[in-house]
């Protein structure tokens, strides 16, 4: 960035071999400055130009005696360098075997290209660099992390500060890596710098995935990363993203899964945070915010968290939660609360979301979590009848817990929100009639087994068939089907007489075939003994034999 500060009466410009983009930018400055009056002070910042190969150098001078000296000059810096790193030297043009060595040799503005391989190091980035892994530009959410395709950074930092990338300079780009095994954090961003770009990285198996800090001078972007199971033991373990001093941050189009604490947590003083178009699946809590000013949560898909999906933990102001899909929390979809006693949340708007299938409540607002009217209009609560709340009799959708009656939920949507991601239906498993487990408990219903006595035994089965063989007893073929019977049903097999008896096939069709059902079979015999065998699929279970009231194990 350049800073121009001058007092002048008039001016001209001279440009030397500058890119067209910069020339256009200078023209903009010229048009701005042309409006100045005589002897007026002019101050202008010129930021680095994206995509430019030159660093602009600008100078403004003034002379009351010669208009020719009032000029702005710009000249190109040297072309920026690209340094190539490969752990085994096989990559074309590689001159470094470690990323740290390339960083040490690079000048600010250079690019470091890291070939596929494994890099056991903790990389310290203390200058403005673009560091590209083998998968730079490839969305991490689409990648498998196959061996030989990734630039893998296995952190080897010191105890207490074991990080994959330790980034302390403005404007650093980390793009296309797998970052793992950081016992402190995968990627650490210093809070006194800004303008970071964390793009297209698989960030996994660290204590914290990304320690996200920024002073907000330039926007920091976290995009197209896959955060996976960052649960190594340590401070703040189990967070995909942890932040306690961030400003002007965009978290966009990332995936989060398998975190024991939170997909992301912002605590401390935060401002201007946007969380958009992310997929968060099966983490403990999805999003937690504390004392954030200026928060936008939009177009995210949150499914099956183990705890609450979105949690506003007090002190948050100017919060918009809109166009999200929040499905399947065993607790609350959204909680507006103040568990840390930092003050109620203020100016919260919750609109146009799909909030459904959350067990305790779709929305809970505690009595100290919010005090003014909370705008929760135009949400779909999982049912055309609206949310379940006393003021909406007949509502069968997700519940609203609102002890102070501060939630304004009317009108509500009767169909899915058009701006939120469409919920993916959870497929119901199709039960397969695999061999069932037979657990027979043979008893004699009368004191002795005599002609006409009944042998009863239990069978635990789901959908499928059970074959009952009568050995040395009875004649003919018996077959019956049991449909829609409840648990502990009793199935009677007709009496049989001595002779050859074909198997009795009992087919079970429970009301809910996804659930196991217990049956008791009762076989009446006209013979003095019954040797009954129960088979479920390929399993063979032999029953005790009863003769004249005496039982013996076969």
Does 458 lie in the same domain as 361?
no
- Mean pLDDT lowest among 58-67, 82-91, 244-253, 383-392: 58-67
The pLDDT of residue 522 is: 54
Is 223 in the same domain as 332? yes
Give the pLDDT confidence score for residue 142 in this predicted structure.
96
Q: Which has more pLDDT, 7 or 266?
A: 266
Find the mean pLDDT for residues 248-273.
96
Q: Report the alpha-carbon distance of residue 551 to residue 533 in Å, rounded.
A: 15
Kindly state whether residues 237 and 184 are assigned to the same domain.
yes
Residues of the chain with pLDDT > 70: what percent? 62
pLDDT at 274 over 50: yes
8 Å CB contact between 361 and 387: no
What is the gyration radius of the CA atoms in the chain, in angstroms? 36
Asked if 313 and 289 touch (Cβ cutoff 8 Å), the reply is yes
Question: For 200-214, 227-241, 278-292, 524-538, which range has the lowest pLDDT when averaged over its residues?
Answer: 524-538
Instruction: List the 202-204 sheet strands across, edge first.
Output: 117-120, 151-154, 177-180, 202-204, 226-228, 255-257, 279-281, 301-303, 325-327, 354-356
Strand partners, 92: none
Q: Which residue has the higher pLDDT, 41 or 344?
A: 344
Mean pLDDT of 237-242: 97
Cα–Cα–Cα angle for 431, 434, 440, rounded to 5 degrees: 110
Tell me, yes or no, whether 328 lies in a domain: yes
Q: CATH number of the domain that 288 lies in? A: 2.160.20
Whether 304 is covered by a domain: the verdict is: yes
**How far apart are alpha carbons 188 and 161 in whole angstroms?**
10
**Where a domain ends, among 366, 393, 408?**
408
> What is the reported pLDDT for 423?
86
Domain-located, residue 60? no
Quick: pLDDT tens for 349-390. 999 999 999 999 999 999 999 999 999 999 999 999 999 999
Q: How far is CA 337 from CA 333, 341, 504, in A?
A: 13, 9, 63
pLDDT higher than 50, residue 137: yes
User: Starting from the edge strand earliest in sequence, which strands make up the sheet with 12-15, in order?
Assistant: 12-15, 71-74, 58-60
Asked whether the predicted pLDDT for residue 66 surpasses 80, the reply is no
In Å, how far from its chain's centre is CA 537?
41
CA distance 75 to 110: 18
Query: What pLDDT digit, counting tens, does each position of 118-129 carry?
Result: 999 999 999 999
C-beta neighbour count of 65 within 10 angstroms = 6
In this predicted structure, the answer to whether residue 445 has a pLDDT above a threshold of 90 is no
On whether both 219 and 261 belong to a single domain, the answer is yes
* Long-range contacts at 91-98 (CB < 8 A, ≥ 24 apart): 91/115, 91/116, 91/117
Bridge partner residues of 228 (DSSP): 204, 257
8 Å CB contact between 112 and 129: yes
Tell whether the model's pLDDT for residue 104 goes beyond 90.
yes
**Same structural domain for residues 149 and 191?**
yes
Partnered with residue 539 across adjacent β-strands are: 536
Nearest to 317 by CA among 339, 296, 341, 288: 296
Q: Please indicate, yes or no, if residue 289 is contained in any of the structural domains.
A: yes
Beta strands in 232-375 (DSSP E): 239-245, 247-252, 255-257, 262-266, 270-276, 279-281, 285-289, 292-298, 301-303, 310-312, 317-322, 325-327, 332-336, 346-351, 354-356, 361-365, 374-375
Length of the chain: 554
Q: What is the pLDDT at residue 499?
A: 46
Q: How many CB atoms lie within 10 A of CB 549?
A: 12
Q: What is the pLDDT of residue 515?
A: 47
475 and 358 together in one domain = no
What mean pLDDT is reported for the chain?
Answer: 76
In a shared domain, residues 338 and 473: no
Instruction: Tell which of 354, 383, 408 closes a domain.
Output: 408
- Average the pLDDT over 91-112 and give the result: 97
Residue 39 clears pLDDT 50, i.e. is over it: no
Distance CA(215)–CA(192), nearest Å, equals 5
Q: Who has greater pLDDT, 423 or 317?
A: 317
Q: What confidence score (pLDDT) does residue 523 get? A: 54
Count of domains forming the chain: 2
Percent of the chain scoring above 90 in pLDDT: 58
From 512, 359, 357, 377, select the one nearest 424 (Cα to Cα): 357
Q: Say if 293 falls within a structural domain.
A: yes
Residues 307 and 456 grouped into a single domain: no
What number is the average pLDDT over the span 390-406? 96
| pLDDT value of position 550 | 29
Per-residue confidence (pLDDT) for residue 203, from 0 to 100:
98
Reported as a single tens digit per residue, the pLDDT across 519-542 is 455 555 544 444 444 444 322 222
pLDDT tier, 80 (very low <50, low <70, confident <90, very high otherwise): confident
Q: Which of residues 504 and 287 earns the better pLDDT score?
A: 287
375 and 345 Cβ atoms separated by less than 8 Å: no
- Among 9-13, 152-156, 353-357, the minimum mean pLDDT is found in 9-13
Give yes or no: residues 380 and 482 share one domain: no
Residues forming a β-bridge with 399:
388
Q: How is residue 520 annotated by DSSP?
A: E
Whether residue 345 is contained in a domain is answered as yes
* Confidence grade of residue 147 (pLDDT, cut at 50, 70, 90): confident
pLDDT at 2 over 70: no
Q: How far apart are CA 204 and CA 186, in angstroms?
A: 8
Residue 146 has pLDDT above 80, yes or no: yes
Output the pLDDT for position 43.
Answer: 52
Question: What's the domain range around 486?
Answer: 441-536
In the prediction, which pLDDT does 157 show?
A: 83
Residue 269 and residue 403 in one domain: yes
Token pair recorded at residue 255? 């995936």
Both 340 and 205 in one domain: the answer is: yes
Write down the pLDDT at residue 297: 99
* Shared-domain flag, residues 388 and 450: no
Instruction: Report how far apart, in Å, the C-alpha atoms of 272 and of each of 195, 277, 286, 297, 316 are.
Output: 14, 17, 19, 11, 11
For the ranges 43-52, 172-181, 182-191, the lowest mean pLDDT is seen at: 43-52
Q: Select the highest-mean-pLDDT range: 288-292, 472-476, 512-516.
A: 288-292
What value does the mean pLDDT take over residues 314-320? 98
Q: Is the pLDDT of residue 33 over 80?
A: no
pLDDT classification of 261: cutoffs 50, 70, 90: very high
How many beta carbons lie within 10 A of that of residue 463, not counting itself? 19
Is the residue at 528 inside a domain? yes
Considering only residues 79 and 338, tell me which one the structure prediction assigns the higher pLDDT: 338
Tens-digit pLDDT profile for residues 410-433: 999 999 999 999 987 544 344 343
In the listed set 358, 383, 408, which residue is the last one of a domain according to the structure? Answer: 408
- Give the closest residue to 102 by CA, choosing from 121, 83, 129: 83
- The pLDDT assigned to 344 comes to 96
Q: Is residue 301 part of a domain?
A: yes
């Amino acid at each position: 960035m350049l800073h121009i500060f001058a007092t002048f009466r008039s001016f001209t410009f001279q440009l030397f071999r500058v890119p067209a983009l910069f020339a256009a930018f200078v023209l903009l400055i010229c048009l701005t400055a042309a409006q100045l009056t005589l002897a007026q002070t002019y101050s202008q910042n010129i930021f680095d130009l994206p995509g430019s190969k030159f660093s602009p150098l600008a100078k403004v001078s003034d002379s009351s005696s010669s208009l020719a000296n009032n000029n702005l000059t710009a000249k190109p810096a040297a072309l920026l360098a690209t340094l190539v790193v490969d752990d085994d030297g096989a990559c074309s043009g590689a001159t470094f075997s470690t990323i740290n060595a390339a960083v040490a040799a690079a000048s600010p503005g250079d690019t470091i290209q890291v070939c596929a391989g494994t890099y056991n190091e903790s990389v310290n980035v203390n200058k403005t660099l673009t560091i590209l892994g083998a998968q730079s530009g490839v969305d991490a959410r689409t990648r498998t992390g196959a061996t030989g395709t990734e630039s893998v950074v296995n952190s080897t930092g010191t105890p207490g500060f074991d990080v994959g990338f330790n980034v302390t300079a403005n404007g650093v780009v980390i793009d296309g890596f797998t970052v793992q095994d950081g016992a402190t954090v995968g990627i650490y961003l210093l809070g006194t710098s800004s303008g970071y770009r964390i793009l297209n990285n698989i960030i996994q198996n660290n204590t914290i995935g990304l320690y996200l800090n920024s002073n907000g001078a330039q926007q920091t972007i976290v995009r197209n990363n896959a955060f996976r199971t960052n649960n190594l033991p340590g401070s703040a373990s189990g967070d995909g993203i942890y932040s306690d001093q961030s400003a002007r941050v965009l978290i966009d189009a990332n995936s989060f899964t398998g975190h024991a604490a939170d997909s992301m947590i912002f605590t401390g003083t935060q401002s201007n945070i946007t969380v958009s178009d992310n997929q968060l699946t099966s983490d403990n809590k999805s999003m937690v915010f504390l004392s954030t000013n200026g928060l936008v949560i939009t177009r995210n898909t949150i499914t099956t968290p183990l705890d609450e999906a979105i949690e506003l933990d007090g002190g948050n102001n100017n919060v918009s939660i809109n166009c999200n899909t929040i499905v399947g929390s065993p607790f609350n979809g959204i909680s507006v609360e103040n568990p840390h006693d930092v003050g109620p949340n203020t100016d919260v708007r919750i609109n146009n979301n799909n909030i459904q299938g959350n067990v305790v409540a779709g929305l809970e607002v505690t009595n100290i979590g919010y005090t003014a009217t909370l705008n929760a209009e135009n949400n779909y609560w999982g049912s055309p009848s609206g949310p379940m709340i006393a003021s909406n009799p007949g509502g069968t959708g997700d519940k609203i817990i609102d002890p102070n009656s501060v939630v304004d939920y009317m009108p509500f949507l009767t169909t899915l929100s058009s701006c939120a991601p469409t919920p993916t239906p959870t497929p119901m498993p199709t039960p397969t009639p695999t061999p069932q487990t037979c657990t027979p408990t043979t008893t004699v219903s009368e004191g002795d087994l005599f002609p006409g006595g009944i042998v009863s035994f239990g069978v635990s089965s789901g959908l499928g068939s059970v074959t009952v063989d009568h050995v040395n007893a009875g004649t003919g073929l018996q077959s019956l089907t049991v449909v829609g019977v409840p648990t502990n049903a009793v199935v009677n097999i007709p009496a049989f007489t001595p002779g050859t008896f074909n198997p009795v096939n009992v087919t079970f069709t429970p009301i809910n075939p996804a659930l196991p059902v217990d049956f008791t079979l009762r076989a009446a015999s006209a013979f003095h003994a019954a040797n009954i065998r129960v088979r479920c699929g390929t399993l063979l279970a032999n029953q005790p034999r009863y003769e004249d009231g005496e039982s013996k194990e076969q």
